[in-house]
Amino acid sequence: MSSAPATDVAGLLSEGSAVMRLAQRFREHGHELYLVGGPVRDMLLGRSHSDLDFATDAAPEQTKALVQPVARNLWLQGEAFGTIGAEIEDLHVEITTFRTERYEPMSRHPEVDFTSDITTDLSRRDFTINAMALRLPEKEAVDPFDGVSDLRARCIRTPIDPQVSFTDDPLRMLRAFRFASQLGFAIEGGVLATIARLKGQLETISAERIRDELSKLLVGEKPARALEQAAETGITDVFLPELSALKLEQDPVQKHKDVFHHTLAVLEQTPPELKLRLAALLHDIGKPKTREITPAGVSFHHHEVVGSQMAAHRLRELRYPNEVVADVSQMIYLHHRFHTYRLGWSDAAVRRYVRDAGSLLGDLDRLVRADCTTRNTAKAKQLALRMDELEERIAELASREELASIRPDLDGFQVMAYLGTGGGPVVGEALEYLLELRMEHGPLGADAAYEYLDRWARARGIEPAGERVDPKPKKSRDPA
């Protein structure tokens, strides 16, 4: 079921609203309905929430019968686990029969036992701040594990013994850090100690479930502290061992920056967008493998190349989509190139930078700016001015050239006609040659490009046919 836009939960509980009419319908048929979990938490925090979660004593088939007449759409994928999904007016709702659940190793689906009361249902939820409910239509609060107090204290705590809770579903250990990031809350000491003791159980969880929690953690408001604590417990070693590896010993000659805490600072200086945050998290993971200490100090030559390869491997292990893997690894590969700008870039170098970045140019810019975490204000200002200058040069070149889609001045059709060949490797080599000319000199125009192509061919013993033709028309995307 797709997520609805975030909305004010309290406003949905007014008299006569779709939610209250739904609750009244359940009551008239002898069943209880409770708003539970995240929506209750976010309502108390004054935050918006998207989908609404309900719990009921009605069996799944009874829920389906009650909801179907008033729903635009119905989703039954979770019926075996007690959940009926529906779209009612503009709301996306999930209604689940009171239950307890636990996950078997490597399973994406819980083993479910239905229960008869709301307290037992709430007791098997992950944290007290998610184990609160509102009985509807009365709006009567149900808080058997004092989640309201934990909200006030900004504390993440399990409603039952954390060892039992985390054994039922080890992913809850990572989820604790996700909520710490999203809400800026502290994790209770006993919970942290249990995570440190049970962290190995996370190895039984599928990569896809770990990926989803990590993604939510990264785009939270406070990911740095959450990841720092996660690393302290050792749980990140299970799915992201490269993070703790950044805790390098300082060299004895010229103390370099703490790469681990630098990475966390960069992470929080980037906007909360998944690809950008992943690139920030992984941008320096090549440093431990490339670290060299010399009398002159420490160096990390080509760490961006090694790091790009390591990041691609780690993201594939976590089952991120191919597009995410490609874009994040490319940003990491390119993020250090800017630091050679102070040596002086020709227009050709600027063109290559834009071409290699492609559609990632804006994100790459933001990553490079975030990568400056120095406390030296003069140095930070200098780096920012250089970045401003590079952006101005890119904009100036773009006003004269099609930087966003740099290509040779002749296309393959024209090259084949001029060389008198039907294709083959020589055409690709010729186009690569013309592209390099385009990068080096800017737009040449067809006449000059043909002259260069003629000299290039004759130098290779090829007698050109000399036929000049118009570019091959591009296929229209208009279905008409």
291-349 pLDDT, tens digit per residue, is 887 777 777 888 999 999 999 999 999 999 999 999 999 999 999 988 888 788 888 88
Using the predicted structure, report yes or no on whether residue 252 has a pLDDT greater than 60.
Answer: no
User: pLDDT at residue 261 above 50?
Assistant: yes
For residue 352, pLDDT over 90 is answered with no
Q: Distance (Å, rounded) from C-alpha 319 to C-alpha 399?
A: 40
Over pLDDT 70: what percentage of the chain? 91
Res 163 pLDDT > 90: yes
Q: What pLDDT score was predicted for residue 1?
A: 43
Average pLDDT, the chain: 88
Q: Residue 281's pLDDT is what?
A: 97
pTM of this structure? 0.80
- pLDDT at residue 477 is higher than 60: no
What average pLDDT does this structure show over 146-152? 97
CB-based contacts of 343, cutoff 8 Å, min separation 6? none
Rounded to an integer, the average pLDDT of 267-272 is 95
Report the interhelical angle of 322-334 vs 347-357 (nearest 10°): 160
Question: Rounded to whole angstroms, what are the CA distances from 428 to 210, 408, 431, 434, 460?
Answer: 43, 11, 5, 10, 14
What does the alpha-carbon distance between residue 141 and residue 153 come to, in Å, rounded to a whole number?
A: 19
pLDDT at 208: 96
What per-residue confidence (pLDDT) applies to 7? Answer: 67
Upstream peptide bond of 137 is cis (omega within 30 degrees of 0) = yes
Q: Which of 78 and 301 is assigned the larger pLDDT?
A: 78
Q: What is the pLDDT of residues 41-50, one digit of tens each?
A: 999 998 887 7
In Å, how far are 259, 262, 370 from 269, measured between CA atoms? 15, 11, 5
Instruction: Indicate whether 471 pLDDT > 90.
Output: no
b/e sequence 357-383, b meaning 16+ C-beta within 10 Å: beebbebbbbbbbbbbeeeeeeeeeeb
Q: How large is the average pLDDT for residues 232-257?
A: 79
Give the pLDDT score at 249.
54
Q: Give the residue-averaged pLDDT of 7-23.
A: 86
pLDDT at 173 over 60: yes
Mean pLDDT of all residues in 441-468:
88
**Cβ proximity of 435 and 428 under 8 Å:** no
Which contacts (CB < 8 Å, 24+ apart) does range 249-253 have? 251/293, 251/297, 251/298, 252/293, 253/293, 253/294, 253/295, 253/296, 253/297, 253/298
**pLDDT number for residue 2:** 45
**Position 106 pLDDT exceeds 60:** no
* Paired tokens of 377: 């204000």
Predicted pLDDT of residue 405: 64
Sign of CA dihedral 328, 330, 333, 339: negative
Band of the pLDDT at 108, cuts 50, 70, 90?
low
What is the pLDDT, as a whole number, of residue 251? 46
Q: Note the pLDDT tens digit of each residue in 186-214.
A: 999 999 999 999 999 999 999 999 999 99
Amino acid 254: pLDDT: 45
Q: What is the pLDDT of residues 360-398, one digit of tens each?
A: 999 999 999 999 887 778 888 888 888 898 888 888 887
Q: How far apart are CA 75 and CA 87, in angstroms?
A: 9
- Please say if the pLDDT value at position 5 is more than 70: no
